[in-house]
Amino acid sequence: MPPKPGNDGQTTHGICDPCAEALLAEAGVPLEDYLDSLDVPVLVVDSDVAAAYANREARQLTRRSLAELVGMRAGDVFDCSHRSLPGGCGRTIHCSGCALRQCFQSSHATGYPHFMVPATLSLYDPDHPSAVTLTITTVKRGDAVLLLLNRVE
């Protein structure tokens, strides 16, 4: 398909959902296998921002098995420094400014994707607090949202 303006003002290439599903079905590739073939961490999250699936790169990044990750909220998956505050991931004052959560909620509510949005994730380590700079992409598929992470720094 030719380039077209994206939701975030960036140029994107796309394929409609029915065509994408038909292409994957025709290729005989299960979605999990396709996601595992990607060289970026991908987390499939449900309406509560809880992991429904994590591809191979996401499992390697977090050093957790798929069984451990399923059901964990994104802040818990990525050890966000605010996840241990009262209320937990998604329910603290800091969560309202979280780029991951904002992009997820927007994509989930509207169906529009977000591409390469800058984000900083504060990591929990009481002895050595740190932050990771990322760009994130969110794409809604069915009732789930795919969250792709690209590390910048």
Summarised one tens digit per residue, pLDDT across range 79-88 is: 888 888 888 8
The DSSP call for residue 96 is: G
pLDDT at 11 over 50: no
84, 124 Cβ separation under 8 angstroms: yes
Q: What is the mean pLDDT of the chain?
A: 82
Range name among 56-60, 84-88, 101-105, 127-131 with the lowest pLDDT average = 127-131
**pLDDT, mean of residues 103-112:** 92
Whole-prediction pTM: 0.74
The DSSP call for residue 124 is: P
Could you tell me which residues are beta bridge partners of residue 123? 80, 130
**pLDDT, mean of residues 120-131:** 79
pLDDT at 53 over 90: yes
Res. 17 pLDDT band, cuts 50 70 90: low
3-class secondary structure for 54-86?
ECHHHHHHHCCCHHHHCCCEHHHHCCECCCCCC
pLDDT at 112 over 90: yes
The DSSP call for residue 97 is: G
Place of tokens 């994730």: 121
